[in-house]
Amino acid sequence: MIPKRILHDLADVAENYDKSGVHAELEAVRLEGKIQGASGTPYENGVYKIDITITPKYPFEPPKMKFITKIWHPNISSQTGAIGLDVLKDHQWSPALTIQQALLSLQGLMESPEPDDPQDAEVAKQYKTDREGFNRKAKLWNETYASEGKDAAIDYVCAMGFDRQSALKALEDNNWDPQAAANSLLDGI
């Protein structure tokens, strides 16, 4: 899970602490998970990236997870990707749970939102009062942000040094052509 090089470097630092006076320790491990949207939901065919931070206290405390991919869902912040899921809270987490089970729980939450315990009040309100409008917007966000082909295009433009929001806007303005988007961003410099 942790690259051997990092473990070797940490051992070096620890071994030479008395001579060098420098110290380093591993605080957390970052992973990236992916969840496929379930068929029959507005998230169908979407692939959602999840940022997972595992602290040294894992498995005795839950991994910290948030959505990287934007999603329109009552239990996930449309702004920050923060997740409202009981199993990811300290008092509900069990050391017997695994990363896979946590991701499967998130996938289940995507299929069965809980609008009465929202993370995003605006989305929850729409879910409860205008389900058709909610489904349209969730599907639009799914098509805009959760398409793997689009992720690859965004990554391509970001690899040229542009931030994700600028890359996304340029891609949308250029019919999802990565080269045209990059050229339009470069022309603006």
Higher pLDDT, 9 or 150: 9
Residues 136-156: what's their mean pLDDT? 86
Give the residue numbers spanning the domain of 113: 4-146
Residues 63-68: what's their mean pLDDT? 96
| Contact between 114 and 86 (Cβ < 8 Å) | no
Domain count, the chain: 1
In a domain, 93, yes or no: yes
In a domain, 120, yes or no: yes
Q: What is the CATH number of the domain that holds 14?
A: 3.10.110.10
| Contact between 50 and 37 (Cβ < 8 Å) | no
In a domain, 163, yes or no: no
In a domain, 61, yes or no: yes
In a domain, 128, yes or no: yes
* Positive or negative torsion for Cα 155, 157, 162, 167: negative
In a domain, 161, yes or no: no
Residue 1 has pLDDT above 70, yes or no: no
Instruction: Work out the pLDDT band at 48, boundaries 50, 70, 90.
Output: very high
Query: Measured between alpha carbons, how far apart are the two ends of the chain, in Å?
Result: 40
Residue 139 has pLDDT above 90, yes or no: yes
